[in-house]
Amino acid sequence: DAGVIQSPRHEVTEMGQEVTLRCKPISGHNSLFWYRQTMMRGLELLIYFNNNVPIDDSGMPEDRFSAKMPNASFSTLKIQPSEPRDSAVYFCASTVDRGLRGYTFGSGTRLTVV
């Protein structure tokens, strides 16, 4: 199994630009999560999907952030327009069985907005 696959690994963009982060969950996992990690705030849950349906987006910081999961094998997190304070590592994670076995995280995308 290739694990949770995220792309790109690194993204540097200018303030105001649109950024799209991508995630492919582990095949057969029916729940997908987007997290953001910073030194100051640690790991923050942004949104999670179950069976491709958004269940809880209360962690999405602003309307500039949006996430989609058009099918079981693909999800995107979009920031438009990006701001320097969005700089962080963004992780995607997936799980099955209501998370009883915990999550499997992707390698993350390190986003820098200048």
Q: What amino acid is encoded at 98 in this protein?
A: R
Name residues contacting another protein, limited to 33-92 (CB under 8 A): 33, 42-43, 45, 48, 50, 55-56, 91
If one asks whether residue 31 binds another protein (CB under 8 A), the answer comes out as yes
Question: 87 vs 104, which CB is nearer to another protein?
Answer: 104
DSSP letter assigned to residue 58: T
If one asks whether residue 14 binds another protein (CB under 8 A), the answer comes out as no
Strands lying side by side in the sheet with 65-71: 5-7, 19-24, 74-79, 65-71
If one asks whether residue 25 binds another protein (CB under 8 A), the answer comes out as no
Question: 14 vs 44, which CB is nearer to another protein?
Answer: 44
Q: Specify the residue for token string 């290739």.
A: 2
CA separation for the pair 93, 21 (Å, rounded): 13
Bridge partners of residue 11, in order along the sequence: 111
**Residues near another protein (CB under 8 A):** 31, 33, 42-43, 45, 48, 50, 55-56, 91, 95, 98-108
